[in-house]
A and B are shown apart, each in its own frame.
Chain A
């Protein structure tokens, strides 16, 4: 509903925006009538939400084809890019966070923390451009375009997605590693870890069974919250690489005032975000016996 409101209630004559300043009043009125935007807002809203629930996302003003056909491919493309980024960043930052948590205040801890904090703060298109310059243009290791040629196999596709995902990885690494580090430190200091050592377990066993298992919980929670950031990051990165994903769709729709496309795109993004949060909650409770068994509440 918020999505609909933001799209429709704000000022701006739709027909005027699409047809340009030189269109006649009559053309604008006809366009507005066909698009249904001259009806009362409440009817529009009811219409929109019912057809959305039926899976009909309306017709794109810009392309004059159904929104769902365009969004489908873009959505899959974005998922691919996000998957590559997540597959790199999650293991990397958990390892990084664990190393710096276990060797608190050592040189490697400082190096990891400072790198993480710095990269997190730098806008993704800035890191992306620096990566493009170094790895793409000067060293020539990676293709600078994100879109692999048609019909290429998975490995080639992944290779094309590496450069765009690096920038997202750079932003996410700092957050996830910082949380992992904090929770590793907390569980290293906990009584159960001391008990485990006193029991005579080796360091490896203690870290694997006690420290890691306990400190991964907050990490999972933070990974889920970062899905929201990731979607925003996709918007910028997909524009930069001109990669046909959901972010580029939302961007183009916004530039062209293609409201059905914009609303559906944003709504889709909202749903994905909610789903991610839900999955994280479920995972969290599966891994945490205190929540699974109802605990002491």
Chain B
């Protein structure tokens, strides 16, 4: 069969039989990723939390928002992780708490990646005045700690998940655009870009159709790294009261609602499990990012 098709195809081997170079490269990348322990472990951890973010209160043993008279009970067989000051089951709250972080952070990251890539492509490809102006502005924004900018803006706009996504997304745009710009600068010199220019292609076509697919690797790495930072920043803002609002079972919110109870030395279960949950999620995301980075860099 295959011999016949080969003959029939004549001088032009069809794409289905001879995989293109890009396909081979992609397959090789996937193969390397599946051999990377950090990537796999990271994905398992993140996958666990994504599952609970989607399943949410439907699968938890108790309703994470239901208040009972069993307040501040230590971990027991009925309440595995104990209960908080409103008698809510902490085990259920920790599982359901994944959803706020895993909605807000990825959306904010997506916004930052889309805006940052567009800005980075334009500044990197065109250079000149646009590049100078935008780069100076980026420097100015980066001169202030991100969390301080976010606190100022959220103070003025008020906090909701939507403003949180917008603020984190826009605050993270400059660093993304900087990375993309640096990558584009390297890419612009390559032959395929010059060939496209000689063919008379327009700027936007070259940027988005020619260059963009070739810099997807660094962009994906940047996205996972940024996701880690976004979770970090949103956790901090929520802890301060500028992020996710009550009564969400968000982890940082649980910690900020309960940490004042710690002074007496008891009630550790009201915060410790949420701490462990955040820690595992961010470490998981960072392991994925590390695994990706190693493969893309090679």
Contact = CB atoms under 8 A, between A and B. Distances in A.
Interface of A: 2-3, 6-7, 10-12, 117-118, 120-126, 129-130, 132-133, 137-138, 144, 228-229, 231-232, 235-236, 239-240, 250-251, 254-255, 257, 262, 266, 269-270, 273-274
Chain B binding surface, main DSSP class: helix
Contacts of A228: 142-145
A121 B285 contact: yes
A269 B148 CA distance: 9
A266 B148 contact: yes
Contacts of B142: 228
Contact of B240 (A126, A144, A236, A262): A236
Contacts of A144: 262-263
A251 B239 CA distance: 12
Contacts of A2: 140-141, 144
Interface in B131-183: 140-149, 151-153, 155-157
Contacts of A232: 145-148, 236
Contacts, number: 124
A121 B286 contact: yes
Contacts of A236: 147, 236, 239-240
Interface in B237-278: 239-242, 252, 255, 259, 262-263, 265, 268, 271-272, 275, 278
A274 B143 contact: yes
A178 B137 CA distance: 29
Nearest to A229: B145
B240 A239 contact: yes
Contact of B152 (A118, A133, A254): A254
A133 B235 contact: no
Contact of A122 (B143, B241, B278, B290): B278
Nearest to A273: B143
A11 B155 CA distance: 10
A80 B189 CA distance: 49
Chain A binding surface, main DSSP class: helix
Q: Of residues B232, B255, B263, which shows the largest number of chain A Cβ atoms within 10 Å of its Cβ?
A: B232
Contacts of A10: 153, 156-157
Contacts of A231: 145, 148
Interface of B: 140-149, 151-153, 155-157, 228, 231-232, 235-236, 239-242, 252, 255, 259, 262-263, 265, 268, 271-272, 275, 278-279, 282-283, 285-286, 290
A7 B152 CA distance: 7
Given A254-B155, A257-B155, A240 B149 contact: no
A92 to B, nearest CB: 21
B143 A129 contact: no
A270 B142 CA distance: 10
25 contacts: A2-B141, A7-B152, A7-B156, A10-B156, A10-B157, A118-B286, A123-B231, A123-B235, A123-B282, A125-B235, A126-B235, A129-B262, A129-B272, A130-B272, A133-B268, A137-B262, A144-B263, A228-B142, A235-B240, A240-B259, A254-B151, A255-B241, A266-B144, A266-B148, A270-B144
Q: Top 7 closest A-B pairs, CB basis?
A: A10-B156, A232-B147, A232-B145, A121-B282, A123-B235, A254-B155, A121-B286
A173 to B, nearest CB: 14
B85 to A, nearest CB: 16
A262 B152 contact: yes
B145 A6 contact: no
Given A6-B156, A232-B236, A250-B151, A126 B279 contact: yes
A48 to B, nearest CB: 15
